[in-house]
A and B are shown apart, each in its own frame.
Chain A
Amino acid sequence: MRLPRRALLQGAAALGLGCRPRAAPPGRQLVRLWYTYGGKNRLVLEQLVAGFNAAQAEHWVQPVFQGDYYEGLAKLRTALAAGAAPALSHVVGEVIPYLAEAGVLEPLATRPGVDQLDLLPALGQAGTWRGGGQRPLVCLPFNRSTPIAFYDADVFEREGIAPPESWQALLEAARWLSTTDASGARRYGFACPIDWWFWAALVGQAGGELIEADGRISLGGVAGIKALELWQRMVNEDRSMKPPPGRDYNAWEATNQDFLAGRSVMIWTSTAFVRYLEDNARFNVRAAKLPGFVRRAVPTGGTHWILLRAAPEPEKAGAWQFLRYLHEPAQVARWATSTGYIPTTQSAVRRLTEAGHYAEHPNDAVALAQLDVAQPWPWSPRLFQLQREIIQPRLEAAVLGRQSPRAVMQDAVRLAQREP
């Protein structure tokens, strides 16, 4: 075989290709935006970016996909360490306190026009975290959602059942709706991903807090145990709840598929799935608020915009202009109606109401109304660790492995109370 000289030359050429990152058009400030979702959300975001780039001639936002939420976050942390972070990104709420305490987030309070942002209280920093309003503003809400119940309204009507308002009603409805046909196929009354977010909802409904007012990590105390007991009873004793296979978002998708295929009659999932479920179900999909135990409560979820302090000021200024553009009512409304996420500003809600959106889409109105019982998260740099390392890995083992909820939660609290 001859020395593959031509191939080596081609390889060398390949090494040189693409060495120059795409630049902004002449005279415009490049603003790097790292985002973390594909599919429809990505298309809508890119349309909004294109709208901004066309609407002004000073800045040029360049959106770049960085994997899913957690891959994007890992990359952002690496880029921060390497001094290569972009000016603008969005991250899950659970990690904001950690990033803020690490000093990598740009304070936003002095940016021009910040006072004009009429955020929905439950979705902004002030409502998302306990004491969030007293801290320097470091994030703005983007794709925000809460857990919500969706049910097959046709089956509910046929069976004469109303959406459950309490845990007891949930237990009874799920049992009533669970059937096994002649072929042995099981239809479950209820399905829900065994996931931190829904566990946090149950903890809130049972009156618990993950971190007490004095800073002690309790993971809900008795409420955390009651949440696991409810799931265990529904899955193992009543066989009225289907635990979906898979982890993280795979389990969420399996929950949706089961619901759409009629294998479960009622599910808990994210408000963001409303359009997907409505468009693809062959039955009437209705939304309902989650039931209560000692109170009604839902956590909020999704991501928040952040500016990275280390980015050059001109780029951060451009990023801020883009955020202001995104928070104009037209853009907020477009994002919400195209994706299913909750609109984040009061002016956008007014705009949608006046346009008859909520009359036409009553399920969206349920999601909005449920914000009245949204519970703030504790502001803790360890929140993300509690989610990913302490709680999430134990939930499935506890529910499916029939471990003692008390023992599981005691173990979790013991680990959580250790210094990180």
Chain B
Amino acid sequence: MPLRWPRRLGLVGLALPWLLPYAWMVSTSFKTLPELVAAPSAPLPSGLNLDAYAAVFEAMPVGAYLLNTTLMALAIGLLQLALALPAGYALSKLSFRGRGLAFGLVVATLLIPAQVRFVPVFTLLAEVRLTNTMTALVLPFAVSALGTFLIRQALLSVPPQLIEAARLDGAGELTIIYRLLPPLLRPSLVAAFLFSFVYHWNDYFWPLVMTTDDSVRTLPLGVALLREQGTGVRWHIVMAGNVLLSLPALLLFALTQRQLIHAAAGKAAGR
């Protein structure tokens, strides 16, 4: 049913707090430094000046950082799905002593931020000479409590008879987990993947801590390179970097928004 215009207006109004900063960022990226200095809050640039974008490409290897970021976020997202599926399956469909406690522990780990554990993890990875590798960026996030939680919740809506029938047909547990269930859980899997992808795509802290040279550096670190400390910020260049950083994530969201909305609406079984 088409939305009535007051409702549309209301929704646009609700979206503005998210849209305006982004629009301002894009607008600033097309300004020149003198324009910014004269009127930093002017809504529109005087023209589509691309100098800031040229400065971004000059300041850092955008392609290499982009590749590193993509590989890292993809690897983390796929690993998380691969491990969250059996974990969610066990926590929702298998009966064993301590299941409730195990689920509680999984949820509790959501409360522990990465900053709390970076020192022991860094020390551990340094011991085995894995700092400054893609492994150091991916491995600590291979298991996701949020992903496990989302998939476990989605699996609750899958009828146990379906799994029982598959077992009767001779399907093993791995076949059930990796072949039978994923098509039923598609919206939740996409949502879990996207949450992970976007979080790690934007992550600044962990790659900063774990990498010690440019070979595995990611795009958010590159954007931080654009920031001045001590000689005056060229905000238009920083904003151009932020636009470049955000574009792939936005594109991914645009391509998968239907699945995300399905997942958010609780249509876990994709019906």
How many chain B residues touch A (CB < 8 A): the figure is 54
Assess the A83–B126 pair: CB atoms within 8 A.
yes
Query: Which residue of chain A lies nearest to B232 when distances are taken between CB atoms in the complex?
Result: A276
Assess the A78–B78 pair: CB atoms within 8 A.
no
Query: Which residue of chain A lies nearest to B67 when distances are taken between CB atoms in the complex?
Result: A17
Assess the B226–A257 pair: CB atoms within 8 A.
no
Q: State the CA gap A66–B124 with chains docked (Å).
A: 20
* With A2-B179, A14-B75 as contacts: A270 and B232 at CB distance below 8 Å: no
Q: Mark B212-243, 1 if CB is under 8 A from A, else 0.
A: 11111000010011111111111001000000
Query: Which residue of chain A lies nearest to B189 when distances are taken between CB atoms in the complex?
Result: A1
Assess the B78–A11 pair: CB atoms within 8 A.
yes
A362 within 8 A of B: no
A396 within 8 A of B: no
Q: State the CA gap A40–B138 with chains docked (Å).
A: 32
| Nearest Cβ on chain B to A76's Cβ, whole angstroms | 11
B183 within 8 A of A: yes
Q: How large is the interface on A (under 10, 10 to 19, 20 to 34, 35 or more residues)?
A: 35 or more
B46 cross-chain contacts in A, Cβ below 8 A = none
Assess the B212–A39 pair: CB atoms within 8 A.
no
A53 cross-chain contacts in B, Cβ below 8 A = none
Query: Which residue of chain B lies nearest to A275 when distances are taken between CB atoms in the complex?
Result: B231
Contact of A19 (CB < 8 Å), options: B59, B68, B71, B133? B133
Assess the B228–A39 pair: CB atoms within 8 A.
yes
Q: State the CA gap A16–B136 with chains docked (Å).
A: 11
Of the stretches B6-14, B32-40, B90-98, B249-257, the one at the interface is B32-40
A41 within 8 A of B: yes
A419 cross-chain contacts in B, Cβ below 8 A = none
Assess the A257–B40 pair: CB atoms within 8 A.
yes
Assess the B123–A40 pair: CB atoms within 8 A.
no
A18 within 8 A of B: yes
B132 within 8 A of A: yes
| Nearest Cβ on chain B to A88's Cβ, whole angstroms | 13
Assess the B71–A143 pair: CB atoms within 8 A.
no
* With A15-B75, A39-B234 as contacts: A78 and B122 at CB distance below 8 Å: yes
Interface centre among A21, A32, A36, A39 (most CB of B within 10 A): A39
* With A15-B134, A18-B215 as contacts: A66 and B208 at CB distance below 8 Å: yes
Assess the B229–A68 pair: CB atoms within 8 A.
yes
B123 cross-chain contacts in A, Cβ below 8 A = 78, 81-82
Q: State the CA gap A81–B121 with chains docked (Å).
A: 12
20 further interface pairs, Cβ-Cβ under 8 Å (given A17-B71, A39-B234): A7-B74, A7-B78, A11-B74, A11-B79, A14-B138, A15-B135, A17-B216, A18-B215, A22-B215, A34-B212, A39-B237, A40-B231, A64-B212, A66-B208, A79-B126, A257-B40, A261-B39, A270-B230, A272-B230, A276-B231
- Measured CB to CB, the residues of A under 8 A from B are 1-4, 7-8, 10-11, 14-22, 32, 34, 36-43, 62, 64-69, 71, 75, 78-79, 81-84, 86, 143, 145, 249, 253, 256-257, 260-261, 270, 272-273, 275-277, 280-282, 302, 339-341
> What 3 A-B pairs are tightest by C-beta distance, nearest first?
A276-B232, A39-B228, A1-B182
